[in-house]
Amino acid sequence: MAISAKGNPKVVHGKLNVQSHRATDTQTWKAGEFCYATSGAYSPVANDGVNIDGQFMQDQTASTSSSDVWVGVIPSSSVIFEGYTCSATSDAAVARTNKNIPYALTVSSNQHMIDVSDTGHDAVVITDVAWDYEPFKNSSTDSPGKCKFYVLTAALEA
């Protein structure tokens, strides 16, 4: 059962605090990308980023520092997301042995994925694999794999 279309992570348990915030000048992103606050404005989280404050709620093709954007601020690590896995920049399956281990985020073409080959830039922890909670839609060989995860408290407080 192959994944036909990837998307950015989405909330499956808990609630984001949606607020209007300034955007960092000249940044672009897609809805669902993780973001962080710097100097009073929000920017997309980069590859291997370990500072995560929220998610952008809408696409942005261009912005200036005078633009306000909608951000879903993550209140705590109790918010659970669903997303996809990779190994460096290639899609990768997710295994039960990947659960409860901190991993990095990989960002490529406005797509945020969990890099199951990178435990050196800890940002998220996988809590469940889709082939366990949706076996009728997913399999252990799906690449990319789909899983549930949370953002580490250390990344939220960075």
Q: Which residues contact 39 (CB under 8 A, 6 or more apart)?
A: none
Q: What is the pLDDT of residues 19-29, one digit of tens each?
A: 999 988 888 89
CA 93 – CA 144 distance, rounded (Å)? 5
Cβ contact 149:94 at 8 Å: no
This model's pTM is above 0.75: yes
Cβ contact 84:107 at 8 Å: no
pLDDT at residue 65, rounded to an integer: 63
CA 10 – CA 148 distance, rounded (Å)? 9
Q: What is the pLDDT of residues 101-129, one digit of tens each?
A: 999 999 988 999 999 999 999 999 999 99
Q: What confidence tier does 64 reach under pLDDT thresholds 50, 70, 90?
A: low
Domain boundaries in the chain? 15-73, 80-150
Residue 99 in this model has a pLDDT that exceeds 70: yes
